[in-house]
Amino acid sequence: MKHEIDRKEMFDEIEKINSRPLPFEFYTASDLWAEEYTSKQMLTYHLNEEIDLSSRNTSFVDRSVEWLASHFNVGAGTKIADFGCGPGLYSMRLAKKQAAVTGIDFSENSIQYAEEVATSEGMSICYVNQNYLEFETDDRFHLVLMITCDFCALSPIQRKKMLDKFHAILQPGGSVLLDVYSLRAFDQREETAMYEANLLNGFWSPNKYYGFLNTFKYDREKVVLDKYTLIEEERTRTVYNWLQYFSPEVLEREFVQCGFSIEMLYSNVAGSPFDSEGGEFAVVARKR
């Protein structure tokens, strides 16, 4: 009888692991950005100059900053809010162009690193260690940045909250620059289910663990979920990595509803011409 109960419990656990939640039903950003070990792992990815994971590679960031500095006429007196600033790759470069930069990020490790670099470079940058959904300020900015498709990780309610926040903290005529994943990228995603000891080469814990990855596609909503179930000796946890994919029309509608007008679409935040076949695109929106 005990073995039958154990098998039933195991079956129920496997069912739970493989269950499909509703779109954006759970929000676990703190497991990625605020937990000490995974936050350090993410910082390592941010600082790898050769890869495009947490941050763009160095060559792209340099090109991107030169373009946006020119496009938005960045210089002394330009006030910029960098949401999801990470270790300050954009914030530092923009501050060197005399902009007054405020960087906001959930990761304490990333903010600490950014502050240390700013101090060593003799730069004055305001860094805020906070979930940017909760960020409030009386300051008013000329430009808001949200780069590396951070916007896609937010639910419709959270995106509305962010756009309202951007509108509130921008000066009249101020701009937003952000990038998102396209429907072309959504079409290329596939549903998968896999299991592996120390999934992602030990990314999730310094201790031995067993990881399950379930990738779910939501065709109507154009959302993809990478659901990670991580089983350690002392605990089991689930991390939900949601990504919203956009058409230009849907993205424009969300901006317009929050008091913005779309100025231009680009293929990326380096100002490359818009390509409808690309996996990402960027938008410049202006506060009405």
* pLDDT for residue 249: 98
Mean pLDDT over 220-235 rounds to 96
Q: What is the pLDDT of residues 155-212, one digit of tens each?
A: 999 999 999 999 999 999 999 999 999 999 999 999 999 999 999 999 999 999 999 9
List, in order, residues 6 or more apart from 40 with CB less than 8 Å away.
109
Distance (Å, whole) CA 288 – CA 286: 6
Mean pLDDT over 74-80 rounds to 97
Structural contact between residues 178 and 266, judged by C-beta atoms closer than 8 angstroms? no
What is the number of other CB atoms lying within 10 angstroms of the CB of residue 16? 11
Per-residue pLDDT band at 89 (split at 50, 70, 90): very high
| Closest residue by Cα to residue 23 from 248, 257, 222, 249 | 222
Q: Which long-range contacts (CB under 8 A, 24 or more apart) does 201-207 make?
A: 203/38, 203/41, 204/37, 204/38, 204/228, 204/230, 204/239, 205/37, 205/230, 205/232, 206/37, 207/232, 207/233
* pLDDT for residue 54: 45
| CATH superfamily, region 53-179+246-287 | Vaccinia Virus protein VP39 (3.40.50.150)
Mean pLDDT over 221-240 rounds to 96
Q: What is the pLDDT of residues 243-255, one digit of tens each?
A: 999 999 999 999 9
Q: What is the pTM of this model?
A: 0.92
Mean pLDDT over 109-113 rounds to 93
Q: What is the pLDDT of residues 4-62, one digit of tens each?
A: 558 888 899 999 999 999 999 999 987 777 777 887 888 777 676 554 444 568 899 99
Which helix (DSSP H) or strand (DSSP E) does residue 117 occupy?
Answer: helix 108-120
* 149 pLDDT higher than 70: yes
Structural contact between residues 159 and 262, judged by C-beta atoms closer than 8 angstroms? no
* pLDDT for residue 46: 66
Side-chain-facing half-sphere of 163: CA atoms under 13 Å: 26
* pLDDT for residue 1: 54
Average the pLDDT over each of 52-61, 262-271, 277-286 and give the range with the smallest value.
52-61
Which helix (DSSP H) or strand (DSSP E) does residue 171 occupy?
Answer: strand 170-182
Which helix (DSSP H) or strand (DSSP E) does residue 110 occupy?
Answer: helix 108-120
